[in-house]
Amino acid sequence: MVQEHSLFDFQDKVYLIQRLPMEQFRKAVTAPTETIRGGVAGFLFDADGELLTIQFCIPKDWDGESDIILILHCVLNADETANDAIDWETSVISVANHEDVDAAGAQTPGASHDIGAFTAAGTLHLVEIILDYDDGTCPIAAGDNVSITLSRTVNVGGDGYVAGVLVIDACIRYQVDKLGDPV
């Protein structure tokens, strides 16, 4: 598996962005539809109760004292109303080596992204979900295996909410502990 990284400097801090390969996403019994829109493949969330799980390991070079950001690349499936929201609910479990996955607590961060005036079908929106590194129920540490189950809120297509969203990519952004020693 090839891990793609991008390095950037922001406010005197160094961050990495690591792509999470879509082929590693796991569908639940009630899963979003795998589809292609405009030549781009993804998972279409257009009904209540659809679940998709993303799993990855927390990078060893993460600083261990800042939140990790999950970034979902979402495409509108149909024309929407200005200022509608793309809402997500998540369940996040973080398990270290030798820990019991059945005993793990979960944190439940959500996200609400206002699409503003960018309402046309096919428009890309980046939605950020904050993973709390020091959550009291489910803290995160470098090397942990993290499992994030995504679902849309029960208001899919309701007043003020976007109906269908195609997730075409995902990545995490994290603050780097150090860049290593010069050669």
List the domain boundaries for the chain.
Answer: 23-175
Q: What is the pLDDT of residue 179?
A: 59
Q: Cα separations (Å) of 49 from 16, 148, 149, 150?
A: 32, 15, 11, 10
What number is the average pLDDT over the span 89-108?
Answer: 87
pLDDT at 28 over 90: no
User: For 23-175, CATH number?
Assistant: 2.60.120.260
Q: What is the pLDDT of residue 8?
A: 57
- DSSP symbols for 6-74: EEEEETTEEEEEEE--GGG-EE-SS-PEEEEETTEEEEEE-STT-EEEEEEEPPTTB-SSS-EEEEEEE
What number is the average pLDDT over the span 39-56?
Answer: 91
Model confidence at 1, pLDDT cuts 50, 70, 90, reads very low
